[in-house]
Chain A
Amino acid sequence: MRAPSIVVLIVIALPLLLGEFWAYQLGLYALYAAAAVGIGLCWGQAGFLPLGQALFFGLAAYLSGFAFIGFQNHLIIAVLMLPFAALASGLLAYAIGYIVFRRTGESGAYFSMITLALSLLAFQIATSWNSVTGGFDGLKGIPGLPGLDDLSDNYYVSAAVLLVVLALAAWLYSAPIGVLWRALAQNERRLQLFGFDTNQLKSIAFGVSGLIAGMGGALYAPEQGIVTPQLAGFGLSADLVIWAAVGGRGSLLGPVIGTLLVGSLSSELRDTLPFWEVAMALFFIAIVLIFPRGIAGLAEPFLRKIEGRKRGRPFIAAPDAPTQRPPAALTLHDVSVRVGEVTILDGLSIDFDRAGIFCVIGPNGAGKTSMFNAISGELSGVSGQIGLGGSDIVGLVPNRISGLGVARKLQIPSVFPDLSIADNLAIALWSGRAAKVQLLKPRLRRWTSPMLEQLQSRYPFLASGPRKALELSHGEQQILELAMALLTEPRVLLLDEPCAGLSPEETDAVMGLVRWAAQRLGGAIIIIEHDMSLVKELAEVVYVLHNGTLLAKGGVAAIQADAKVRAVYVGGEK
Chain B
Amino acid sequence: MSASRLDFEKLTGGYGGTTIVRGLSGAAKAGEVLCVLGRNGVGKSTLMRLLFGYLPCLSGRVLLDGKPIQAFDPSARHRLGITYCPQERPVFDDLPVRDNLTLMRASRRLGPFRHYFDRFPILERRLAQHAGTLSGGEKKILSFVRGLAEDRPVVLLDEPSEGVQWENILHMEAFIAEKKAAGTAFIVVEQNLAFAERIADRYLVMDQGRAMLEGSQSTISRDSILAHLHV
Mask: chain B, 131-154; 1 = CB below 8 Å from A; 0 = not? 011000000000000000000000
In A520-536, the 8 Å CB interface with B consists of: 530-532, 535
A469 smallest CB distance to B (angstroms):
12
Please name all residues of chain A whose beta carbon is closer than 8 Å to the beta carbon of B121 when the two chains form the complex.
none
Task: Decide if A147 is an interface residue (CB 8 Å cutoff).
Answer: no
The reply to whether B16 and A412 form a contact with Cβ atoms under 8 Å apart is: yes
B121 smallest CB distance to A (angstroms):
19
Please name all residues of chain B whose beta carbon is closer than 8 Å to the beta carbon of A500 when the two chains form the complex.
18, 20
Please name all residues of chain B whose beta carbon is closer than 8 Å to the beta carbon of A361 when the two chains form the complex.
231
A303 smallest CB distance to B (angstroms):
32
CB nearest neighbor in B for A532: B231
The reply to whether A501 and B18 form a contact with Cβ atoms under 8 Å apart is: yes
Please name all residues of chain B whose beta carbon is closer than 8 Å to the beta carbon of A532 when the two chains form the complex.
39, 231
The reply to whether A569 and B195 form a contact with Cβ atoms under 8 Å apart is: no
In B5-55, the 8 Å CB interface with A consists of: 14-20, 39-42
The reply to whether B192 and A571 form a contact with Cβ atoms under 8 Å apart is: yes
**Given contacts A341-B132, A501-B19, is CB(A570)–CB(B40) below 8 Å?**
no
Mask: chain B, 150-194; 1 = CB below 8 Å from A; 0 = not? 000000000001000110000000000000000000000011111
The reply to whether B40 and A363 form a contact with Cβ atoms under 8 Å apart is: yes
The reply to whether A560 and B165 form a contact with Cβ atoms under 8 Å apart is: no
The reply to whether B87 and A364 form a contact with Cβ atoms under 8 Å apart is: yes
Please name all residues of chain B whose beta carbon is closer than 8 Å to the beta carbon of A535 when the two chains form the complex.
231
Please name all residues of chain A whose beta carbon is closer than 8 Å to the beta carbon of B192 when the two chains form the complex.
570-572
A168 smallest CB distance to B (angstroms):
39
The reply to whether B231 and A501 form a contact with Cβ atoms under 8 Å apart is: no
Q: Interface centre among B20, B87, B231, by most A CB within 10 Å?
A: B231
Interface size class of chain A, counting residues whose CB lies under 8 Å from the partner chain: 20 to 34
Cross-chain contact of B191 among A363, A530, A560 (Cβ < 8 A): A363
**Given contacts A364-B87, A530-B41, is CB(A569)–CB(B165) below 8 Å?**
no
Q: How far is the CA of A565 from the CA of B231 in the complex (A)?
A: 8
The reply to whether B231 and A569 form a contact with Cβ atoms under 8 Å apart is: yes
The reply to whether A570 and B193 form a contact with Cβ atoms under 8 Å apart is: yes
B131 smallest CB distance to A (angstroms):
11
The reply to whether A574 and B166 form a contact with Cβ atoms under 8 Å apart is: yes
**Given contacts A569-B39, A570-B229, A574-B165, is CB(A531)–CB(B19) below 8 Å?**
no
Task: Decide if A140 is an interface residue (CB 8 Å cutoff).
Answer: no
CB nearest neighbor in B for A342: B136
CB nearest neighbor in B for A556: B231
Please name all residues of chain A whose beta carbon is closer than 8 Å to the beta carbon of B42 when the two chains form the complex.
530
**Given contacts A412-B16, A530-B42, A531-B208, is CB(A569)–CB(B166) below 8 Å?**
no
CB nearest neighbor in B for A500: B18
Q: Interface centre among A361, A364, A571, A573, by most B CB within 10 Å?
A: A571
Task: Decide if B71 is an interface residue (CB 8 Å cutoff).
Answer: no
A85 smallest CB distance to B (angstroms):
50
Mask: chain A, 351-369; 1 = CB below 8 Å from B; 0 = not? 0000000000101110000
Q: How far is the CA of A569 from the CA of B38 in the complex (A)?
A: 9
Task: Decide if A189 is an interface residue (CB 8 Å cutoff).
Answer: no
Tally of contact residues, B, Cβ under 8 A = 29
Please name all residues of chain A whose beta carbon is closer than 8 Å to the beta carbon of B40 when the two chains form the complex.
363-364, 530
Q: How far is the CA of A124 from the CA of B63 in the complex (A)?
A: 65
CB nearest neighbor in B for A533: B208
The reply to whether B39 and A530 form a contact with Cβ atoms under 8 Å apart is: yes
B184 smallest CB distance to A (angstroms):
23
Task: Decide if B230 is an interface residue (CB 8 Å cutoff).
Answer: yes
A292 smallest CB distance to B (angstroms):
23
CB nearest neighbor in A for B165: A574
Mask: chain A, 72-105; 1 = CB below 8 Å from B; 0 = not? 0000000000000000000000000000000000
The reply to whether A569 and B41 form a contact with Cβ atoms under 8 Å apart is: no
Q: How far is the CA of A560 from the CA of B231 in the complex (A)?
A: 6
The reply to whether A572 and B18 form a contact with Cβ atoms under 8 Å apart is: no
The reply to whether B193 and A573 form a contact with Cβ atoms under 8 Å apart is: no
CB nearest neighbor in B for A565: B231
Task: Decide if A333 is an interface residue (CB 8 Å cutoff).
Answer: no
Task: Decide if A566 is an interface residue (CB 8 Å cutoff).
Answer: yes
Cross-chain contact of A501 among B14, B88, B133, B193 (Cβ < 8 A): B14
Q: How far is the CA of A416 from the CA of B195 in the complex (A)?
A: 45
Please name all residues of chain A whose beta carbon is closer than 8 Å to the beta carbon of B191 when the two chains form the complex.
363, 569-571
Please name all residues of chain A whose beta carbon is closer than 8 Å to the beta carbon of B229 when the two chains form the complex.
569-570
Q: Interface centre among B20, B40, B88, by most A CB within 10 Å?
A: B40
Q: How far is the CA of A58 from the CA of B230 in the complex (A)?
A: 70
Task: Decide if A559 is an interface residue (CB 8 Å cutoff).
Answer: yes
CB nearest neighbor in A for B18: A501
The reply to whether B230 and A474 form a contact with Cβ atoms under 8 Å apart is: no
**Given contacts A363-B40, A572-B192, A574-B165, is CB(A474)–CB(B231) below 8 Å?**
no
Please name all residues of chain B whose beta carbon is closer than 8 Å to the beta carbon of A413 when the two chains form the complex.
17
Task: Decide if B226 is an interface residue (CB 8 Å cutoff).
Answer: yes
Please name all residues of chain A whose beta carbon is closer than 8 Å to the beta carbon of B230 when the two chains form the complex.
560, 566, 569-570
A537 smallest CB distance to B (angstroms):
14
In A547-574, the 8 Å CB interface with B consists of: 556, 559-560, 565-566, 569-574
In A465-510, the 8 Å CB interface with B consists of: 473-474, 477, 497, 500-501
Please name all residues of chain B whose beta carbon is closer than 8 Å to the beta carbon of A571 when the two chains form the complex.
161, 190-195
Please name all residues of chain A whose beta carbon is closer than 8 Å to the beta carbon of B15 when the two chains form the complex.
412, 501
The reply to whether B166 and A573 form a contact with Cβ atoms under 8 Å apart is: yes
The reply to whether A474 and B226 form a contact with Cβ atoms under 8 Å apart is: no
Q: How far is the CA of A559 from the CA of B40 in the complex (A)?
A: 16
The reply to whether B20 and A572 form a contact with Cβ atoms under 8 Å apart is: no
A531 smallest CB distance to B (angstroms):
6
Please name all residues of chain A whose beta carbon is closer than 8 Å to the beta carbon of B14 when the two chains form the complex.
501
Please name all residues of chain A whose beta carbon is closer than 8 Å to the beta carbon of B41 when the two chains form the complex.
364, 497, 530-531
Q: How far is the CA of A371 from the CA of B133 in the complex (A)?
A: 25
Q: Interface centre among B87, B191, B195, by most A CB within 10 Å?
A: B191
In A410-431, the 8 Å CB interface with B consists of: 412-413
Please name all residues of chain B whose beta carbon is closer than 8 Å to the beta carbon of A412 when the two chains form the complex.
15-16, 18
**Given contacts A363-B40, A570-B226, A574-B166, is CB(A559)–CB(B194) below 8 Å?**
no
Q: How far is the CA of A364 from the CA of B231 in the complex (A)?
A: 14
- Sorted nearest first, the 4 A-B pairs with minimum C-beta distance are A530-B41, A501-B18, A571-B192, A474-B17
Contacts A364-B88, A532-B39 supplied; 13 other A-B pairs, CB < 8 Å: A340-B132, A364-B41, A364-B87, A474-B18, A497-B41, A501-B20, A530-B41, A532-B231, A556-B231, A559-B231, A570-B229, A571-B191, A574-B165
Could you list which residues of chain B lie within 8 angstroms of chain A, going by C-beta atoms?
A: 14-20, 39-42, 87-88, 132-133, 161, 165-166, 190-195, 208, 226, 229-231
What are 17 inter-chain pairs, A to B, with CB distance below 8 A?
A: A341-B132, A341-B133, A361-B231, A364-B40, A364-B87, A364-B88, A365-B88, A412-B15, A474-B16, A474-B17, A474-B18, A477-B17, A501-B15, A531-B208, A560-B230, A560-B231, A574-B165
